[in-house]
Chain A
Amino acid sequence: MTADQVKKIILDIIGEIAPDEDLSDVKPDVRLRDQLDLDSMDFLDIVMELRKQHGIEVPEADYPKLASLDSCAEYLTPKFAESAA
């Protein structure tokens, strides 16, 4: 899975958990919290959806690595590769 595909997965999840957010112009290098109205409850849901939909586990200590789309891709791409293997 490519980094862009991972970013797309994250955006799709955000679209599900926060349907009232406009996701048409999310900048990959800016913290998600700084451009969208997301709080810790929403981030928990991103983690829960990653587990439910893709079997990816994100331990609580690693939540900061989901800060932006770029950091999500960097952190999650190897995890997706692992789970696909």
Chain B
Amino acid sequence: MSGLAAAIRVGMYGKSVLLLERHTVAGGLNSYYKIGKYTFDVGLHAVTNYVEKGVKGTPLTKIFRQLRIDRDSFGLCPQTQSRISFPETNLLFSNDFDQLRQSIADRFPNEVHNFDKFTVLAKTNKEYSKASARGEIQSFFNDPLLMEMLLCPLLYYGSATENDMEFGQFLILFNSIFLEGFARPYEGIKPIINSLLKRAKEVGVERKMGLGVKKLGTESNRVAEIVLDNGSIVTADQILSSIGAPETQRLIHDSDRCRKSEENIGKLAFIESIAVLDQPPLDLGFEDTIVFFNRSHQVKYERPNDLVDYRSGIICSPNHYDYGDRSLKENIIRVTAQASEPMWRALSPEDYQKQKQLAFDRLLETAASVTPNTSVEKLKTSVKFRDVFSPTTVTRFTGRIGGAIYGAPIKSSDGRTEIENLFICGTDQGYLGIIGSMISGIAMANAHVLSAAS
């Protein structure tokens, strides 16, 4: 998706641009797939950074301006209500920031004042701090439980480093999730991708699907030729790569570089179960848009020592967005938890299938156990279609090594690589999610292709 946004920017200003996508469907980590008669989004639980029409100066508005896309083409519908669920208590939040504040006032009356002070910082802060978020928030809050509860959704949405993130990233995510909010198009990610593809076509982007880059041939520290999967060779003044930093390094086929890039492979991977139900999630006791749950005292956000860590995760129901007078045709619950990519990769094909089905059942049981007024049996018998994707599924379809959807722990914030005319955009430049990836593509195209031309 960052590649698409970058291509649009370059195309808008009359430069010739070739957009390569190895997969047959556009969107990368934010794509969709068909299975049976269903179409599921790969990554989309929610579009973050949602603000109402007319709110200016936020990432969402920047995207529509910079790409000259009509906001209505995304068809964003706001969430109803989300939850942070811990054994001790719950916090509720929605696109109305006051709901989170009120929830904190009810459960942590002594912390409201601190929360208000923190909110002012989050709104006004301009400097990016690389300090530990866990460390920094301790200077604002006193209650460790509240700190864990605020960290949980921000880690999950999403940190590329285990158990912590940079404070700068924490503030960005606090804005995009709490101060701004969640939304989803009625038809999932597809209208967003289609809107970008249409715009790319308008501005003359040449697009090749099912064709990836096999190798980048370098000469005096520049990419001199790009060898494609079909053996043909193209050349370019600048190359923006949205496939990930270590994945890009590997294309240079230099053993030193490959070794170095190994250290920058993300450890965080996830498994997700998608259950199509024969009745509305609400009737089964699921009333929220997204639930970030944690069943232990501290959020363990790290590669588990098991196939799946069921102690924390996300429950998402795409049915719970305000679609106006429409409602989704299908009733869906998605449950996500952390998984160990090396362990999934090591399974034999038979074991892999077996473990996927076991994981599906346990993810449903987990979802039921953290949701009041829900019966596991009733939930299980209401499932009429199921799908699971594991970390290895993610690698297979997106090329992300290690199934690391949040990418490499060390980001390239200016997008530069050691190669002069090769740049990184997308997740490994440091912006994630649907809105983040588009912002990254735009910013990197501006900095390294458009400004460079003047």
Contact = CB atoms under 8 A, between A and B. Distances in A.
A48 B454 CA distance: 9
Interface stretch (A38-46, A66-74, A75-83): A38-46
Interface residues of B, number: 17
Nearest to A40: B446
The dominant DSSP class at the A interface is: helix
Contacts of A20: 54, 56, 61, 65
Nearest to B54: A20
Nearest to A44: B446
A60 B451 contact: yes
B231 interface: no
B446 A37 contact: no
Given A48-B13, A52-B13, A59 B57 contact: no
Contacts of B227: none
B450 A17 contact: no
A67 to B, nearest CB: 18
Contacts of A45: 65-66
Interface string B428-449: 0000000000000011001000
A12 interface: no
Contacts of B65: 17-18, 20, 41-42, 45
Contacts of A48: 12-13, 450
A57 interface: yes
B66 A59 contact: no
A47 interface: yes
A51 B450 CA distance: 11
B442 A41 contact: yes
A32 to B, nearest CB: 14
A13 interface: no
A11 interface: no
A13 to B, nearest CB: 12
A18 B54 CA distance: 12
Nearest to B64: A20
B362 interface: no
Contacts of B54: 20
Contacts of B12: 48
Given A39-B57, A52-B13, A52-B14, A60 B454 contact: yes
B311 interface: no
Contacts of A3: none
B222 interface: no
Contacts of A17: 65, 68
B386 interface: no
A58 interface: yes
Contact of B454 (A16, A41, A47): A47
A45 B443 CA distance: 12
B62 interface: yes
B192 to A, nearest CB: 19
A58 B450 CA distance: 13
B14 A41 contact: no
B442 A57 contact: no
A50 to B, nearest CB: 10
A76 B15 CA distance: 24
Nearest to A18: B65
A9 to B, nearest CB: 17
A34 B446 CA distance: 23
Contacts of B62: 39, 41
Contact of A58 (B14, B443, B454): B454
A17 B67 CA distance: 9
Contacts of B450: 44, 48
A42 B442 CA distance: 12
B71 to A, nearest CB: 9
7 pairs of A and B residues whose beta carbons are closest in the complex: A37-B56, A48-B13, A37-B57, A44-B446, A41-B66, A18-B65, A52-B13
Interface of B: 12-14, 54, 56-57, 61-62, 65-66, 68, 442-443, 446, 450-451, 454
11 contacts: A16-B68, A20-B56, A20-B61, A37-B56, A41-B62, A44-B450, A48-B450, A51-B454, A52-B13, A52-B14, A59-B454
